[in-house]
Amino acid sequence: MVRQPMAFFKGELVPLKEANVNITTHAFNYGTAVFEGLRAYWNADHEELYIVQAEPHFARLVRSARILRIDVPFTAGELVSHTVSLLRANAFREDVYIRPLAYKSDAAIKVGLSGIASAFGMFAVPMGDYVPTKGINVAVSSWRRISDNMIPSRAKVSGAYVNAALSSDQAKSDGYDEAIMLGDDGQVSEASSSNLFMVRQGTLITPPITADILEGITRQVVMELAEELGIPQVVRPIDRTELYVADELFLCGTGVQLAGIISVDRRPIADGRTGPITQTIQQVYFDLVRGRSDRHCDFVTPVYEGP
């Protein structure tokens, strides 16, 4: 018997088909919502589902909501518990993507944020690789990354993802896997929906958070793992042409996971294969998120033996 998919909606578990909003909802009309993306990985040997960096993701959701004056009725810790309950209710035994949303819920034709009610909902769906992890081809997009003074780039604002959709669609229509976006200053910001790392002469380099990037949870994990592995790292601006002469490039994020880049604008990166530093970090990361490593056990939350 197929189990009915469940969602967490208006403070309780309900059938997913009943977790609906009206067409007049403010968030639907104006993009006034914030969201997160979390992954949970199935480990068949352990018979366990591991949620990755659950509390940091929900802490970021609460920060994003604060920027848009959205009230989240739960703490980050409470949201972790609700996520565990949601995944248990769905009895997942596979890799899963989790989508929580906090949004302006009033039926209001009004451009603004204050005085408009808020709501929260969450669902989860099975998901494998979002893009290939062993070598992707990217292009520098003609669409610029939104500035933080236009729409907060450090918040996952649903309406802002039109920017990501335009750049990603352009890249895929032109035969690429993903887009790299530049900021208004012409320097590298990030991919359409993931952070970017570059390796030059053995040093791991990534743009600063002031480069209109999302303050990525996976980005922070990569930086912590690199430090433990003894890989030198620098946070600094990156020029577009540096991408062409890099020794290695890779993207990271909940959706893309860690994906090595093998070409930019049809120029091969080094020998056109995923580089050794990328492969090393990938291996450590995937062992961690699947519960195969004793390293950073606190990075994952077990669902079936968890809180």
- The whole-angstrom separation of Cα 35 and Cα 146 is 17
| CA-CA-CA-CA dihedral for 210, 216, 219, 221, to nearest 10 | 130
**Is 17 known to be catalytic?**
no
Radius of gyration of the chain, Cα coordinates, nearest whole angstrom: 20
DSSP string of the chain, one letter each residue: -PPPPEEEETTEEEEGGG----TTBHHHHH--EEE--EEEEEETTTTEEEEESHHHHHHHHHHHHHHTTPPPSS-HHHHHHHHHHHHHHHT--S-EEEEEEEEE-SB---S-STT--EEEEEEEEE---SS-SS-EEEEE-SSPPPPTTTS-TTS-BGGGHHHHHHHHHHHHHTT-SEEEEE-TTSSEEEESSSEEEEEETTEEEE--TTTT----HHHHHHHHHHHHTT--EEE----HHHHHH-SEEEEEETTTEEEEEEEETTEEPTTTS--HHHHHHHHHHHHHHTT--STTGGGEEESSS--
Determine which one of 17, 134, 156, 172 is catalytic.
156
CB environment 155-176: b (16+ within 10 A), e (fewer): bbbbebbebbebbbebbeeeeb
Q: Which sequence positions are flagged as catalytic?
A: 156
